[in-house]
Amino acid sequence: MKFTTLLLSLPLLACTGLADKTCTPSFDYCASELIKSKGFTEADLIDSLKGSEFENADPNSILYHCTNPGAIGHPKLCASGCTESVQEGSKKC
């Protein structure tokens, strides 16, 4: 009986981990906002840069584009740093 309960709860645990990361598709975000209020970690940001031309760049100098709720991609390098704005999703370099 305990084994069955464990098996049934595993998918729920996996979904809970994914639900922690949220961002609005087609919006752009600075690293600080993704970490502070969207559930991402610096490791998530570094992982999202792997295989791109910005793989070795400082993750805080990148503008991240939300591709799906909880998924980021299409990085853009901000030479002067990412600029926060009051309106969510309209960040700029």
71 falls within a domain: yes
29 falls within a domain: yes
The dihedral region occupied by 39, where left means phi > 0, alpha psi between -120 and 50, and beta the remainder, is: left
2 falls within a domain: no
Identity at 69, one-letter amino acid code? P
pLDDT one-digit tens code per residue, 21-55:
999 999 999 999 999 999 999 999 999 999 999 99
92 falls within a domain: yes
Query: C-alpha angle with apex 74: 73 to 77, nearest 5 degrees?
Result: 115
- The pTM of this model reads 0.74
60 falls within a domain: yes
Range of the domain at 79: 21-93
27 falls within a domain: yes
6 falls within a domain: no
Instruction: Round the average pLDDT of the chain to a whole number and report it.
Output: 81
| Number of structural domains found in the chain | 1
15 falls within a domain: no
pLDDT of 12 over the 90 cut: no
